[in-house]
Amino acid sequence: MDFKNKIVVVTGGGQGIGRAICLKFAFANGKVIIIDMNEETAKTVKDEIKEKGFDAVAYKGDVSNAEDIKSIFNEILANYGRVDVLINNAGIVSTKAFMDVNEEDWDRIIGINLKGVYNTCHSVFPAMVAQRHGKIINIASIAGKRGGGIFGNTLYAASKAGVIGMTKGLAREGGPFGINVNAICPGPTNTAMIEGFTGEKRKNFLNTIPLRRFGEPEDVANMALFLASDMARQITGEISDVDGGVMLD
């Protein structure tokens, strides 16, 4: 899977799953463009890629801010003429019980996790329609299928369920223009989100996973690489679990 001369945009690429995705596409010869609210971590990943002899640039951007994202994509399209792959990874989690959340919590979760996907897709979709090709991959979550759970409750689940619905809608609308739109639903993955999940709780939870292990960021990155490749040219509107068998659907 060679992405030479492909322009690959990754949101939330500064750490965790996003970082793994950036590295995977860069090492497959893609031109990786990192968008992250944390300018420092985005630059660190960019430098890590360039030190290996591959190509990357980084932008500081808030996906929940439509004007900010539109401006960044206008610059990307002006500089490179197209976007071949968009991977919407930026997201935050909420573990608060529903009784404990407020409107501010709701707006923040939806703003980043769902509106953020809308903002990036809306910014790039016309260009993909015009070029008659494109791959969009949205990082959702199994929480969006099962209503939350141990690492994200109702608000998080609602935002990720929205991402799943948007993925299917965009697949319908983008298909006639050669645009593939798919989503990945990670299960528990070894990122900063679960660093504090140790001891007996961790052991008991692992026993509920058929493969008896948490995923690694690279597992999600591998699926993203496949879905963005020509090997997946006939796949669109698919919601793929990378969860060790938690969902079994």
Cα(182)–Cα(48) distance, rounded to whole angstroms?
Answer: 28
Cβ-based neighbour number of residue 200 at 10 Å: 7
Gap between the Cα atoms of 248 and 140, Å rounded: 16
Beta-carbon contacts of residue 228 (< 8 Å; ≥ 6 apart): 3, 8, 25, 85, 87, 135, 137
Q: How many other CB atoms are there within 10 angstroms of residue 123's CB atom?
A: 21
Q: How far is CA 239 from CA 57, 97, 165, 200, in A?
A: 29, 26, 10, 32
* Distance spanning both ends of the chain, measured CA to CA: 27
- The closest of 3, 26, 48 to 232, measured between CA atoms, is 3
Q: Is 156 a catalytic residue?
A: yes
Number of helices (H), then strands (E), belonging to the chain: the values are: 9, 7
- What are the angstrom distances between the C-alpha of 12 and each of 60, 79, 141? 10, 21, 15
Q: Which of 59, 80, 118, 156 is catalytic?
A: 156
Residues designated catalytic: 156
